[in-house]
Structure 1
Amino acid sequence: MGANQMKVDKTQAPVMGGMSLDDADIDNTDRQIINCLQQGFPLTPRPYFDVARMLGIEEDELIYRIEELLNSGVLTRFGPLFQVDNMGGRFSLAAMKVPQEMFEVVAGLLNEMPQIAHNYQREHEFNMWFVIATETVEEVDEVIRTIEKNSALKVYNMPKQQEFFVKLKLTV
């Protein structure tokens, strides 16, 4: 997603196309879908059919609505979460001090990188925060070097020291 496709709320909105639910045009069925899918996704031969049946809608409607929630930016991601550390990969939190006049350009640079899981703008000296997700530990440093080379700005890497699993559910 390019910089021209992002919506930025200077306080806390995701830079990657996200929006607040207050700005979203969603109905009760969309809310039920979001709430239901946060509980998990069935590992069955026809998971969309099974979820749709639980919600009292057709499978095609469920798939269409998920696609629309993604396309509109209400959902920024729909898919499995993996314990990448167990597979040799790494997640790392990073931050940058990006001059306001460069913010959209740098956000666009990050948004084009497949290793950037998501990024956010914050009202702070460190105004751009993002997660680097790589297949190997070494690749984190490569991604940081690439960002620094292409932006001419320093990336502050904060690798995970300890993991805390919190089951977060955002009721909409």
Structure 2
Amino acid sequence: MVAQKETILDRPLNALERRLLNDFQDGFPLTPRPFRTIAERVGSTESEVMTTILNLQSQRLISRVGPVFRPNRVGASTLAAMEVPKERLEQVADIVSSYGEVNHNYEREHSLNLWFVVTAEDRVSLNRVLREIEKRSGLEVIDLPMVEDFYINLGFPLQWT
């Protein structure tokens, strides 16, 4: 599961939401019915797990549930960056996030303040997504393809206050 952006809720997260967000950042079960497997691990039902994940998506706490493949092993991928005026950041991030090919995006404290990863079936499709984002946002997308491969585990234990 990929965390999207911080969202202010009118209530604290419940135990199931916390388990789903924290415990399945990696090691997602590769079984015919993964949500049933998750439900068994967390003491819930398949239906409740699926409903909870959909609710987390609608609340923008996660953007998607799916695999993240090693770069350029299946299809093509790239890191991209944009310089977005502060007042348009949320609007442009929504445009970027609307593409299924975008794994995640995040804000950085830099003139290039919106970064995201795009994965597509091939380089032609990847370039099409980058150009569409440019056209829809009216802003340049800087393509930063990987030169050297490093593995960084992006999972981290979440802190609940």
**TM superposition score category, shorter chain reference:** 0.7 to 0.9
TM-score by length of 1: 0.71
Select the residue among 41, 53, 58 that pairs with 1:66: 53
- Give, in whole Å, the separation in 2 of the partners of 1:112 and 1:132: 12
Q: Distance between the aligned counterparts of 2:11 and 2:135, measured in 1?
A: 37
Count of residues paired in the alignment: 156
Structure 1 residues without counterparts, runs of 5 or longer: 1-13
Give the equivalent residue in structure 2 for 1:78: 65
User: Quick one: distance in 2 between partners of 1:39 and 1:26?
Assistant: 20
Deviations 1:78-125 (A, max 9, x none): 1222346223x2221111222334444433432333433332233321
TM-score normalised per structure 2:
0.75
> Which of residues 35, 39, 52 is equivalent to 1:52?
39
Report sequence identity in percent.
Answer: 35
Alpha-carbon contact 1:90-1:135 (below 8 Å) kept: yes
Gaps of 5+ in 2: none
User: How far 1:41 moved relative to its partner?
Assistant: 2.6
Return the alpha-carbon distance in structure 1 between the equivalents of residues 26 and 97 of structure 2: 28
Tell whether 2:145 aligns with 1:159: yes
TM-aligned CA distance change 1:35 to 1:111, over 3 Å: closer
- The equivalent position to 2:118 in structure 1, one of 117, 127, 132, is 132
Relative contact order (alpha carbons < 8 A, sep ≥ 6): 1 or 2 greater? 1
- Is 1:33 aligned with 2:20? yes
TM-aligned CA distance change 1:97 to 1:33, over 3 Å: closer
Question: How far apart are 1:65 and its partner, in Å?
Answer: 1.8
SS at structure 2 position matched to 1:98: coil
| C-alpha distance in structure 2 between counterparts of 1:67 and 1:105, whole Å | 22
The 2-side partners of 1:103 and 1:168 are apart by 23
What CA deviation, in whole Å up to 9, does each residue of 1:130-164 have, x standing for no partner?
A: 22222112333333333334444322221111222
Q: Please give the root-mean-square deviation of Cα atoms over the aligned residues, in Å.
A: 2.9
2 CA distance for matches of 1:23 and 1:75?
17
